[in-house]
Amino acid sequence: MCGIIGIIGGRSVSRLVYHGLFSVQHRGQSSAGKLTYDGNIHVTKDAGLVRDVFNEEKKIDTPGNIGIGHTRYSTAGMDDIESLKRNAQPEYLVNPFLATVHNGNIYNCSEMAKKTKRKPRTVCDIQWLLLTMADNLYKKELNADIIFDACEKVMHQVKGSYSALYLADSGENPFLFAITDPRKIRPLVLGQCDDMYCLTSETRVFKRINFDYVKDIPGGSVVVIDKKGNIYEKQIIKKQELPCMFEFVYFAKPDSRINGRSVHKVRDEIGRLLAKEQSVEADIVVPVPESGRRYAHGFSRESGIPIDEGIMKDKDERSFIHQTQETRDKVVEEGLSFIRSVLKGKRVVLLDDSIVRGTNIKKIVRGIKNAGAKEVHVRIGCPPLIAPCYLGIDMRSRKEFIARDKKGEIRTWDQIANEIGADSLGYISIPELKKAIGSDICRGCIDFPDGYPPEMQNDVKSLFKIDGKLARSYECI
């Protein structure tokens, strides 16, 4: 899971890409990068947040009327600083000149390595989108049809999820182009401002850089934009789209829209349906900030239980996407405080989006009880997570999930409630989650293996069998 942005038009794009990266910072905190092009390549990338990587004016202001940017959430390679630096994006080649950024996960990397003689510079799966595309564009004078043909060949080879942006040039006419996987697991949207065009992960980027939303890019599509603003689009592979349910539940920001659906309204509706499915007698509804807030409002309205702010968040960091458990714990411990005057003597319904490892929710339940609450009833806007995601969310092994015991068996809700110290626990069901989102979804992590796209189910079952041999099982094959 990452944030991507690409802009092309009649003036310098560097500051637009830079500001756009802040709007997708929540999608990746391990590294950030930006590349602009004016016949020369101007690139800055490093481990860290956008504000840390672009800490000088000369890194922010670079020439070129075309550029791409990236915030990375690591789903491949090691998590030490040197590895995060090495695997930072954008990645590029000079023969032919081709640069790319990627959101998603390619899980057949060893198979892709046999399809090219080019040697990858990093272990990141973006290499197989870059190298194989370069093979198909080598020594060709680019136009939309040539790019369509190259993308079709790549799309029939790679397996996994991808919304990827490319910057290419074979002379005086650079192109910005994009590809999406046939199931459109990861979001990609197009925006416009006069003669400028932007492709990016979330619609909220457009608000920051004053662009207008044009459309969501369909699954299995290629979109090509030249420097004159001509747009060429072709759907290469047409299948039913299955957007990642975790985009709606957690990853996308609430002020974004995915496939025309307001993320804010989806989460509010999940909370409402959750109150009907998992009712409870209580005095107050309390959200886990900020992730539980929309769920709590929906739950409160439907249940009639008043909502109150019993927990304060002191940091604007996302604990789930930190690279290690140690740093995740630190964000929770340093980032939350509990308001005794709100919680003391109350039966509390605690609302959050999901439970993965259980470490965070356990500490929050304990904090609420230490503040004097009589009871804590946990309600979750996502069904129990029971299997790794092989398509871009860094849930690496089934051993990480609190919903499974040490033997790998699925726990009951009462067992999980006991583990986290809650008086009761309730999750939304898969049918009600789908109803709230308003479409079918990729749900492999909550309904394994049937929740994965049909063509991937044999692959993910094979990956599941070797789970635990490495940090991420798809890196074993």
CB 382 within 8 Å of CB 395: no
| Strand pairing category for 375-380 and 424-427 | parallel
CB 47 within 8 Å of CB 55: no
What's the CA gap between 168 and 221, in Å, rounded? 18
Residue 2 appears among annotated catalytic residues: yes
Q: pLDDT by residue (tens digit) across 372-429?
A: 999 999 999 999 999 999 999 988 788 889 999 988 899 999 999 999 999 999 999 9
CB 78 within 8 Å of CB 366: no
The backbone torsions φ and ψ at residue 365, rounded to the nearest 5 degrees and listed phi first, read: -60, -45
| Strand pairing category for 336-338 and 311-313 | antiparallel
Domains defined along the chain, listed by start: 2-241 (3.60.20.10), 256-475 (3.40.50.2020)
- Where do we find the tokens 């709590």? 296
Q: What is residue 477's predicted lDDT score, i.e. its pLDDT?
A: 43
Q: pLDDT by residue (tens digit) across 42-65?
A: 999 999 999 999 999 999 999 999
Q: What is residue 209's predicted lDDT score, i.e. its pLDDT?
A: 98
What's the CA gap between 39 and 339, in Å, rounded? 57
Q: What is residue 331's predicted lDDT score, i.e. its pLDDT?
A: 46
Choose the catalytic residue: 2, 109, 244, 442: 2
Q: What spatial distance separates the first Cα and last Cα of the chain, rounded to whole Å? A: 20
Query: SS3 helix, strand, coil % of the chain, rounded to 5?
Result: 35, 25, 40
- Where do we find the tokens 């697991």? 185
Is pTM beyond 0.85? Reply is yes
Write the DSSP symbol of residue 391. S
What's the CA gap between 332 and 313, in Å, rounded? 9
CB 34 within 8 Å of CB 6: no
What is the enclosing helix (H) or strand (E) of 200? strand 196-200
Please give the torsion angle defined by the CA atoms of residues 364, 367, 371 and 375, in that order, rounded to the nearest 10 degrees.
Answer: 60
Reading the chain (477 residues) residue by residue, the pLDDT tens digits are 799 999 999 999 999 999 999 999 999 999 999 999 999 999 999 999 999 999 999 999 999 999 999 999 876 667 789 989 999 999 999 999 999 999 999 999 999 999 999 999 998 999 999 999 999 999 999 999 999 999 999 999 999 999 999 999 988 889 999 999 999 999 999 999 999 999 999 999 999 999 999 999 999 999 999 999 999 999 999 999 999 999 999 999 999 999 999 999 999 999 999 999 999 999 999 999 989 999 999 999 999 999 999 999 876 555 444 445 454 455 455 579 999 999 999 999 999 999 999 999 999 999 999 999 999 999 999 999 999 999 999 887 888 899 999 888 999 999 999 999 999 999 999 999 999 999 999 999 999 999 999 999 999 999 999 886 555 544 444
How many residues are recorded in the chain?
477
